[in-house]
Structures are given as C-alpha cells and as structure tokens.
C-alpha cells in the first residue's frame, strides 16, 4: 500500500471518528422542541414537563405527537413519509419534512455538559 493511501485512510478514519464522537457527546435529554414552518418559528414546545401525550398540528399537512420527553411526527400528507419514520427527534437528528418545509429541532438542557453535581 502506498504512502498516500495510508494518509487517505487516516484522514477518512479521523473524520469518521470525529463524527462518531459528536454522536456520543451531544446532549441526549430533550428539553425544548422548536417547530419551524417555512423558515419561521411556528411554536415552542416544552418537553420536560409533559405528562400526558397530545397531538400538535403543524401547518396544514403535519401532525406531531408530543410525549413525555420526546416529540415525533405522527402523520404527514407528503409522499415519502420520511419524517414519520424518523421517530423521536433528538438533538443530533431533527425531524424534517422536506416537502412541507417543517423542521422540529430539539434542544437539550443548557447545562447538559455537567454530568453530576456533587454536594449541591
């Protein structure tokens, strides 16, 4: 194997590991969901205090399901149904309905980088 091939493998491996580390480091708890329709903030949903699940219609075609600690797309009138299959939105994987221009972005708690507070 040539030297340049080794460098290429190293660069690609570093990129893959870098992306992988991003998955691990990203905050996992979903606190607030921001729903965007056509590039504008449609509504903000508090996720941490949800006890009973309810549905939320977004625009004309989409219905989201808000549950305790998560939000997902329940139904959409688009042909590919990708947003419904995506399941719950996470910080790294917003739920997006490209045909209807709907995006659900989840944000974790601001202090999520702190694992444990000792003696607090």
Kindly list the residues in this chain that would bind another protein in the complex (CB under 8 A): 2, 4-5, 8-9, 12, 15-16, 18-20, 22-23, 26, 34, 36, 38-40, 79, 82, 85-87, 91-94, 96, 98-99, 101, 103, 105
Q: Which of 21, 119, 33, 35 is nearest to 68 (CA)?
A: 33
Q: How far is the CB of 22 from another protein (least distance, A)?
A: 4
Name residues whose C-beta falls within 8 Å of residue 63's C-beta, 6 or more positions apart in sequence: 55, 56, 57, 73, 74, 75, 76
Query: Would you say 15 or 110 has its CB closer to another protein?
Result: 15
In this structure, is the dihedral angle defined by the CA atoms of residues 26, 28, 31 and 37, taken in order, positive or negative?
positive
Q: How far is the CB of 18 from another protein (least distance, A)?
A: 8
């Amino acid at each position: 194997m040539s030297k340049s091939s080794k460098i290429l493998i190293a660069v690609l491996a570093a990129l893959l590991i870098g992306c992988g580390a991003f998955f691990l480091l990203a905050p996992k708890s979903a606190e607030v969901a921001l729903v965007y329709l056509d590039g504008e903030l449609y509504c903000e949903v508090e996720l941490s205090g949800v006890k009973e699940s309810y549905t939320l219609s977004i625009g004309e075609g989409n219905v989201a399901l808000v549950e305790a600690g998560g939000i997902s797309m329940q139904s959409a009138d688009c042909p590919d149904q990708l947003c419904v299959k995506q399941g719950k939105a996470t910080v790294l994987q917003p739920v997006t309905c490209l045909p209807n221009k709907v995006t659900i972005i989840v944000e974790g708690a601001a202090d999520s980088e702190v694992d444990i507070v000792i003696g607090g």
